[in-house]
Amino acid sequence: MFLFTPFYLLLVCSWVAQSLPLYKRDADFLSVRTRLSRDYSGKGGDPKDKYFHESTFHPHYDGRFADHTLTNEDRRKHLIILMQTYLSTMSDIGAETWIMHGTLLGWWWNRKVMPWDSDVDVQMSESSMEYLASYYNMTVHHYRLPGVEHGRDFLLEINPHYKNPSTDDRLNVIDARWIDTETGLFIDITTLRRNRTAEVEGLEGHMYCKDKHKYLAAQIFPLRPSIFEGAPVKIPYAYAALLEEEYGPQSLTLKTFEGHYFDETRMEWLPTGSVPLRVSS
């Protein structure tokens, strides 16, 4: 009978609470939510080991922060802001990051994101990723931006599976994300890793990402400092050779693409509909 006295009840409860171990968990909707009352993260349908989720309405949005897609024009505007804030944050921290793939092609043409690109691609060195994971995981960076009232918060989230270098870990090819907590848009960050199996075989300077892209260290390093969307950026050493390899030489010459043409007076990609009428001679 005396077991049910309030004192003993409290004692038992605290014993139970202490004895249960703490489990690692991800930053789920409830722990990071801002303004939404419902989770659109898409976590429910994903395998248990997958860390980052794509929203239920669009793979390029984070469903913990957004419940709808943006118009193309808005998306582009916010993507540029996302890129600028990411680059300046990394430049401030001193983390070594550089642009790749379609983003690098956009840089080559006019130092801007190409209008038809729905995301941006960045890579990071192993040591920088380790540094961010150690000191900057789940940090929120506040930026005051022109035209944005009250500024905006950006979340730097590291995937704990970044420590697993295997390309077989297909659920976690993305090592980190830079997330706009207002629009749900994000930048995928992948780590460029030394190919240690190749090194054992005596091949030095081979590198790869978990998304199975392979590079030679000499193609990437030393990095070149440049400007992208007005922010300081790093460019891989052999940028032109990388672009030719990935997209073919015509990617550096074709002035019409995806319903756009390259206007050489404004040095910008404009929608094909806006081609000025040619003056006949």
Partner 1 sequence: MSPRRASSTLKTGANSPLHPPPSPRTSSLAYSTSHPMSPGPQHNRPLIDFVTNEWQYAPDEELDDSDREYFEDKKGKGKRADAPPLPKWVAQAARVQIPRRVQRWAAVYTTLAVALWLAYSSFLKPAWEEEKRLDRGMAHALREGVQFGANIRPTFAGLTHLKKLDDALVPGRPGSTKQRLVFVGDVHGCKDELQALLDKINFNSNTDHLILTGDLIAKGPDSTGAVDLARRLHASCVRGNHEDRVLLAHASLHASLQPLPGPAEDPNTAEDDLDEESFSHGDYRDRAIAKKLSRDQVQWLTACPVVLQVGSVGKWNGGTEVLVVHAGLVPGVDVERQDPFLVMNMRSVDLDTLVPRADRKGEEWEKLWNHHEKHTHPASSRITVVYGHDSKRGLNLKKYSKGLDTGCVNGERLTGLVVRANGHEEVVSVPCGDWQSQKAKKEREEKAVRKAEKEKVGKKDGA
Interface contacts to partner 1, rule CB under 8 A: 91, 94-96, 107-111, 125, 127-128, 131, 194, 199, 204-205, 207, 216-218, 220-226, 235, 237-241, 244, 249-250, 252-256, 262, 264, 267
Q: Which is nearer to partner 1, 66 or 124 (CB)?
A: 124
Q: Considering the complex, what minimum distance in angstroms separates the CB of residue 145 from partner 1?
A: 23
* Nearest distance from C-beta of residue 73 to partner 1, angstroms: 23
CB 269 within 8 A of CB 115: yes
CB of 96 to partner 1, least distance (A): 7
**Which tokens in the block code for residue 260?**
């756009």
Angle at 97 between CA 57 and CA 234, to 5 degrees: 115
CB nearer to partner 1: pick between 65 and 239 = 239
- The values of phi and psi at residue 134, to 5°, are -75, -40
Whole-angstrom Cα distance, residue 252 to residue 264? 14
Helix pair 239-247, 101-110: axis angle to 10 deg = 120
**Residue in 179, 188, 115, 183 with CA at minimum distance from that of residue 148:** 183
CB of 244 to partner 1, least distance (A): 6
Nearer Cβ to partner 1, position 32 or 235? 235
Which of residues 49 and 199 has its CB atom nearest to partner 1 in the complex? 199
Q: What string of DSSP letters covers 47-116?
A: -TT--S---SS-TTB-TTT-SSPPPHHHHHHHHHHHHHHHHHHHHHHT--EEE-HHHHHHHHHHSS--TT
Q: Which is nearer to partner 1, 26 or 205 (CB)?
A: 205
- Distance in Å, CB of 250 to partner 1, minimum: 5
Least Å from the CB of residue 248 to partner 1: 8
How is residue 226 written in tokens? 């440049």
The CA distances from residue 75 to 80, 115, 118, 199, in Å, are: 9, 10, 8, 42
C-beta closer to partner 1: residue 222 or 273: 222
Q: Which is closer to partner 1, CB of 32 or CB of 114?
A: 114
Smallest distance, partner 1 to C-beta of residue 253, A: 5
Q: Which residues fall within 8 angstroms of residue 240, CB to CB, at 6 or more apart?
A: 108, 252
